[in-house]
């Protein structure tokens, strides 16, 4: 399959997953498209990072970093809470297959395989949380620096 077709398929399914989940959790209709766009953006970053052999940990970190930045930007644009964008956008990144494998290994009695699968789920989930945390911190630092320089320029202009 060509790269372009694969990209379009990934975009379509990431949008459907994010926007569909946004509908499920009763996100306001005026922001459903932006929730879908943030999900698409995070998934494409994840997908491209995986294709570049960056590994699952870094790929999830970069994807969730994008979710955090876009969530804050879209929340300021639409004047609504950022979680309205965070939660649907995380859906494509959630490690569903490794979680299923962990439960399957656990129910079949293979504790070593279950431990490995649970560890993978914890690492991926932790990288998603870390990406969200880092994006939040970066935005906070950006606005503090912006406010500092704005106050500094007003101080010298008066």
Query: Please, what sign has the CA dihedral across residues 103, 18, 50, 74?
Result: negative
Query: What pLDDT is recorded for position 149?
Result: 84
pLDDT tens string 93-151:
999 999 999 999 999 999 999 999 999 999 999 999 999 999 999 999 998 998 888 87
Angle between helices 56-78 and 32-51 in degrees, nearest 10:
160
* pLDDT band, very low/low/confident/very high, at 11 (cuts 50, 70, 90): very high
Query: What pLDDT is recorded for position 155?
Result: 65
pTM of the entire structure? 0.87
The total number of structural domains that make up the chain: 1
Q: Is the pLDDT reported for residue 14 higher than 80? A: yes
Give the angle subtended at the CA of 121 by the CAs of 118 and 116, to the nearest 5°: 35
| 24: containing domain | 3-157
């Amino acid at each position: 399959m060509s790269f372009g077709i694969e990209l379009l398929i990934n975009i379509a399914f990431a949008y459907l997953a994010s926007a569909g989940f946004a509908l499920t959790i009763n996100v306001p209709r005026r922001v459903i498209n932006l929730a879908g766009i943030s999900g698409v953006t995070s998934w494409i970053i994840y997908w491209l990072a995986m294709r570049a052999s960056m590994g699952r940990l870094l790929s999830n970190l970069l994807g969730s970093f994008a979710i955090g930045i876009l969530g804050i930007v879209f929340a300021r644009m639409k004047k609504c809470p950022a979680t309205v964008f965070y939660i649907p956008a995380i859906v494509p990144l959630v490690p569903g297959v490794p979680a299923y494998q962990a439960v399957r290994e656990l129910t079949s009695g293979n504790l070593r395989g279950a431990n490995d699968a649970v560890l993978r789920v914890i690492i991926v989930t932790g990288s998603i949380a870390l990406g969200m945390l880092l994006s939040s911190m970066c935005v906070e630092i950006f606005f503090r620096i912006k406010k500092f320089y704005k106050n500094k320029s007003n101080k010298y202009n008066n």
